[in-house]
Amino acid sequence: MKIKEQESLAQYTTFRIGGPAKFFCAVKSEDDVMEAVKFSREKKIPILIIGGGSNLLILDSGFNGLVIKNEIEGKRWDEENDGQTVAVTAGAGEDWEKLVEESVERGLYGLEGLSSIPGKVGASPIQNIGAYGMDVSRAIRSVRALDTSKMEFVDLSKDDCKFGYRDSLFKHEKGRYIVTAVTYELYKNGKVNIEYKDLKDHFTKKGNDSPALKDVRQAVIDIRKKKLPDWTTWGTAGSFFKNPVISADKFRELKDRYPELPGFAEPDGRIKVSLGWILDKVCDVRGLIIGNVGTYEKQALIVVAKPGATAKEVIDFSNKLMHCVKDKTGIQIECEVEWAVA
Ligand code: EPU
């Protein structure tokens, strides 16, 4: 395993922003992961793991530690219950979109709503990626990771992972686990879920009230193409903030002022509100560009950066959005994108 020095990190993130890593290596096996962690301990430096870099903001000063690019590959499809279920285990460095594509081609239900999301398998449980009425935790059976506090590999069950909206154990115990593989449970005779408004509208327009698995995947790809920026033109990490989850009382108060504010009840009775709507209709910042950074013209929750933008510009711009939301609604919003600070 080769360890490089002063490797530019901008090329490894979809924002295409940020300075160099003091040390950088790519890992292709669990042995490589172990070796990389031992190196960082000898040098007494922090670690940053990157997969596809699609949800990451690297600072202009770079990362003053070891950046480990997870390139562990491999996929195994194990039929269970007379072929009714398939447990698919994928290496953390496998491409997420390819996994979804292959599972749909095999006629397996469970990941189709998560089509066209950039990134790698290893990030899926950390972020608990979600879209179009599902999140990946529903399909996850277990996660294999190096527990750096014990320096041993562990297999964590779905419950161990403590999943929530864009949340998991891996975010709370930051730096403790390095994901090496994920096992998903997929179904041969599943049912598609088209309750999400955009999907429902798409199929109503097409006059298709019982779409097949492949139709749902295609619909998600088409909708995303219309709503999300082209990653080759813009630097972006998708949604920059999480949708805020607020109390039912606070929601009622906002609904009095903004009757059309979309809100969705969470299992605990609180309400998840659409920040994209607030940024667009309340703060009026959809499509606003300041210098090299702005919000996407078709989706205000997405921050976009022109080539040459700096992390400082992104941070200054995102602070402006945070203040505007706080002033107008009283809600303190949180970043969805991870910041690499060291
Ligand atoms: N909306 C507006 N104006 C905007 C943006 C949104 O009015 O500029 C309204 C929409 O019309 C809709 C509501 O706000 O009524 C929600 O918008 P949308 O369906 O686009 O979803 P979102 O809540 O903004 C979330 C995820 C996305 C995911 C979509 C689709 C988060 C932080 N983001 O966005 O995930 O693709 O749902 O399911 O939960 C990502 O994480 O990077 C990401 C793109």
Examine the residue annotation and report whether 166 is marked as an active-site residue of this protein: yes
260 lies in the same domain as 319: yes
Which residue's alpha carbon is at the smallest distance from atom 23 of ligand 1?
Answer: 274
Paired residues of 185 in beta bridges: 87
Query: For 194-213, what is each residue's pLDDT tens digit?
Result: 999 999 999 999 999 899 99
**Does residue 250 fall inside a structural domain?**
yes
DSSP 109: B
| Active site annotation includes 239 | yes
Mean pLDDT score across all residues of the chain: 96
The answer to whether position 85 is within a domain reads yes
Whether 298 and 251 share a structural domain: yes
- 276 Cα to the center of ligand 1, angstroms: 6
- Do residues 314 and 320 make contact, with C-beta atoms less than 8 angstroms apart? no
* CATH label of the domain that carries residue 257: 3.90.78.10
Instruction: Please check whether residues 244 and 328 belong to one and the same domain.
Output: yes
Domain termination site, one of 118, 152, 187 = 187
Same domain, 130 and 40: no
pTM summary value: 0.94
Pocket test for ligand 1, best of 299, 302, 325, 334 (most atoms within 8 A of CB): 299
- Within this chain, do residues 311 and 274 fall inside the same structural domain, yes or no? yes
Residue 257 and residue 159 share a domain: no
The predicted structure's pLDDT at residue 48: 97
Say if 242 falls within a structural domain. yes
Residue 210 lies in a domain: no
Q: Are residues 37 and 134 in the same domain?
A: no
Considering the domain architecture, whether residues 100 and 131 belong to the same structural domain is answered as yes
- Helix/strand/coil for 31: helix
- Are residues 132 and 34 both part of a single domain? no
Told to judge if 173 belongs to the known catalytic residues of this protein, a careful annotator would answer no
Q: CA distances (Å), 190 to each of 103, 109, 139, 265, in order?
A: 12, 5, 12, 25
Instruction: Provide the 3-class DSSP secondary structure of residue 20.
Output: strand
Could you tell me if residue 332 is inside a domain? yes
Domain boundary among 70, 87, 122: 70
| Ligand 1 proximity of 223 Cβ (cutoff 6 Å) | no
Does residue 161 share a domain with residue 114?
yes
Residue 61 domain boundaries: 4-70
Whether residues 30 and 105 share a domain: the answer is: no
CATH number at residue 88: 3.30.465.10
Report if residue 303 sits inside a domain: yes
H or E element: which one contains 185? strand 177-187
What CATH number does the domain containing 47 carry? Answer: 3.30.43.10
Total domains in the chain come to 3
What span, in angstroms and rounded, lies between the C-alpha atoms of 158 and 49?
21
Boundary of a domain, candidates 187, 219, 250: 187
Q: Which residue's alpha carbon is at the smallest distance from atom 13 of ligand 1?
A: 274
Decide: 300 in ligand 1 pocket, CB within 6 A: yes
Write out the chain's pLDDT in tens, 342 residues: 899 999 999 999 999 999 999 999 999 999 999 999 999 999 999 999 999 999 999 999 999 999 999 999 999 999 999 989 999 999 999 999 999 999 999 999 999 999 999 999 999 999 999 999 899 999 999 999 999 999 999 999 999 999 999 999 999 999 999 999 999 999 999 999 999 999 999 999 999 989 999 999 999 999 999 999 988 889 999 999 999 999 999 999 999 999 999 999 999 999 999 999 999 999 999 999 999 999 999 999 999 999 999 999 999 999 999 999 999 999 999 999 999 988
192: in domain:
no
